[in-house]
Amino acid sequence: MTKLAIIYYSATGHGTTMANRVAVAAEAAGAEVRVRHVAETHDPESFAQNPAWTANYEATKDLPAATGDDIVWADAVIFGSPTRFGSPAAQLRTFLDSLGGLWAQGKLADKVYAAFTSSNTLHGGQETTLVSLYFTLIHFGGILVPPGYTDPCKFVDGNPYGVSLVTTHDNIDEIDEATDTALEHMARRVVSVADRLTK
């Protein structure tokens, strides 16, 4: 059974919803799944005026936070981050930058990796965020398994680099059908490739 870690940072909750959708699809594909959020690094008072950010913080703060051990445990890892000026959020970046010791020991290599992201506007840095994240995973010695155009659903959502959501609504539990289908496909593809590599 492939072990999949879903490690994500979410401010306003859209990433949390996406991570949970990936988890359901991966479990249906036969994987053992860990969902781990990256701990918030901002003082809650700094985003107290943002109800969605506060709600997601309160909903996830007591759940297990991601550590390097979750990557060591996993055969495959799917990362998630909102885009921040065309790059992963600083919270996820800080987590990745903390993994130097594991990287030096070769413990992040030879695992399957993929990613998802979100932004407030169409093309608002989604693809550059994913590619920027993949640069780090290349340094890990990871095996990148982006969805490409390996399923008809990818011609609908149009992002071969990963999965991206445009967060133009306040309902964090509402993901459009194209994104939902693309998340499911990415999860199945990652698990399928990891299954073949771990046999």
Q: What is d(CA 78, CA 45) in angstroms, rounded to the nearest whole number? A: 30
State the DSSP string of 80-125.
EEEEETTEE-HHHHHHHHTTHHHHHTTTTSS-EEEEEEEESSTTSS
Give dist(CA 12, CA 53) in Å, integer: 4
Walk along the chain (199 residues) and give the pLDDT tens digit of each residue.
999 999 999 999 999 999 999 999 999 999 999 999 999 999 999 999 999 899 999 999 999 999 999 999 999 999 999 999 999 999 999 999 999 999 999 999 999 999 999 998 888 899 999 999 999 999 999 999 999 999 999 999 999 999 999 987 666 667 899 999 999 999 999 999 999 998 7
* Host domain of residue 171: 3-198
Residue 123 has φ and ψ, to the nearest 5°, of 65, 25
Residues 138 and 96: beta-carbon distance below 8 Å = no
3-state class of 25 per DSSP?
helix
Q: What is the pTM of this model?
A: 0.96
> Token pair for residue 114?
């993929």
Instruction: Tell me the CATH number at 117.
Output: 3.40.50.360
90: burial class by Cβ within 10 Å (0-12, 13-18, 19+)? middle
H or E element at residue 32: strand 32-37
Overall number of domains in the chain = 1
Q: First-to-last CA distance in the chain?
A: 9
Contact present, 48 and 54 (Cβ < 8 Å):
yes
Query: What pLDDT, on a 0 to 100 scale, did the predictor assign at position 123?
Result: 83
